Amino acid sequence: MIKDSVYTGYYGFTLEKFNYYRQRDGLAIPMLNTSGLTLPRFPPPLKIRGEIHAIQPYQFRELDNLKDNGVQFVRQRVKLLVPHRPVYKIPERYSNGKPIPLMTDQFSLGEERVTPITAWMYIGVPEYWDELMDAGYNAAHLFTTVEHYKDRRPWLQEYYSMKRETFF
């Protein structure tokens, strides 16, 4: 669907927290957590990790049709946190005017930085999904929660992330 897009090589984390579901057929359903409540039968509200792609404008029409924009999902601008580390080149080291072996063209990583950006994201429409995810028989057989991970970075802590193979 997004074959003409470009994967930027970056991933980002949503600033807002979501309850994140997956249908058994693999469809991802991020639901914005507006209440802030954590309920035992629902997935915890966490940030979502995802790839960042540069999409061609004409592709939004196709994606909107696929995601049933306005009915099942709504395309919304969301704030993302993009972690990155600057790379520094270590200058060549010399001894008596000659480069020291194994001391040339070396690089060092700087401290992690987090840059905020905005991007489009498809978010589940509660009026459509809430009845389907009633936490009863249907929910248990049709929906699963997405795996979540713990991280030691204080700005992140826990987050959802779907593995790439889930989509293919």
Q: Are 2 and 63 in contact (CB under 8 A)?
A: yes
Q: Quick one: pLDDT at residue 90?
A: 73
- Per-residue pLDDT of 3-20, as tens digits, reads 778 888 899 999 999 988
Domains of the chain: 6-83+113-167 (3.10.490)
What does the pLDDT look like over 51-82, one tens digit per residue? 999 988 888 998 999 899 999 999 999 999 99
Residue-level pLDDT at 106? 73
The DSSP secondary structure of 21-64, one letter per residue, reads EEETTS-EEEEE-SS----TTSPPPBEEEEEEEE--TTHHHHHH
